Amino acid sequence: YMMSGEKPDKEIEKIFDTCLILHAEHTFNASTFVARQVASTRAHMYSATSAAIGALSGELHGGANTEVMKMLLEIGTIDNVVPWIKEKRSKGERIMGMGHAVYKTYDPRAQVLKELSKKLAAKTGEPWYDITEKVETTTIDEMKKQKGKDIYPNVDLYSASLYYMLKIPMDLNTPIFAISRVVGWAAHIIEEKFAEAAPKPALYRPKAVYVGKYCGPEGCEYKSLDLRK
């Protein structure tokens, strides 16, 4: 209501509520891992949550559905999808909303969001579902031809058009993601800080492996900056 000035009907409420549920938790994604790492120092929950929000703000994480919508707006019409995708793939560019770091099959969240986007497009008469579906099928075909690989939509592909058809400004996509995901973050932070199963506090401390040049026991020759290439 605060964004549109109109009270949403029950169907719109249910669609948005489903979106929030689907974004509430998703194992050790980037922002959740950051939240747990900060929590492992016994920092305050607010600090761990703030760190998670910082990770979520990146365009490859919580900002991805905004990038998807920018792509859809640039494509503009369903007739422009195939040439647009072909041009991008000929340059080796990534198609936002396609592929996932974990799923090597259809993201189950995307399956639900796809149906919701289809339903909302039928209700509003907007073209974004049809354009998005064409992006999906064209990208799958192009990746198969180019690399012989299967690629599928992730959660961002159809959430982009959903939020846009819900009249949510694109710059609020990531904050809405955070509103939803804070449920998952809180659960992880509490588990990390207060888990009874943990015999003692465990601070996250990954090891680093040096991959630079090894000069032997005598060490490397030092060169002043003005003599280095």
Given a contact cutoff of 8 angstroms between Cβ atoms, the answer to whether 51 and 38 are in contact is yes
Name the β-bridge partners of 153: 98
Check if 130 is active-site: no
Catalytic residue among 61, 100, 130, 141: 100
- DSSP three-state, residue 153: strand
Check if 23 is active-site: no
Q: Quickly tell me which residue has 């072909």 as its tokens.
A: 86
Catalytic residue among 9, 26, 61, 156: 156
Residue 98: what are its φ and ψ, rounded to 5°? -115, 135
Name the β-bridge partners of 98: 153
Give pairs for 107-110: CB < 8 Å, separation 24+: 107/152, 107/153, 107/154, 107/155, 109/22, 109/23, 109/26, 109/155, 110/152, 110/153, 110/154, 110/155, 110/157, 110/158
Tell me how far apart the terminal alpha carbons of the chain are, to the nearest angstrom.
61
- DSSP secondary structure of 113-138: HHHHHHHHHHHH--SHHHHHHHHHHH
**CB count, 10 Å around CB of 78?**
15
- The C-alpha angle 85, 87, 89, rounded to 5 degrees, equals 65
Q: Which residues are catalytic?
A: 100, 156
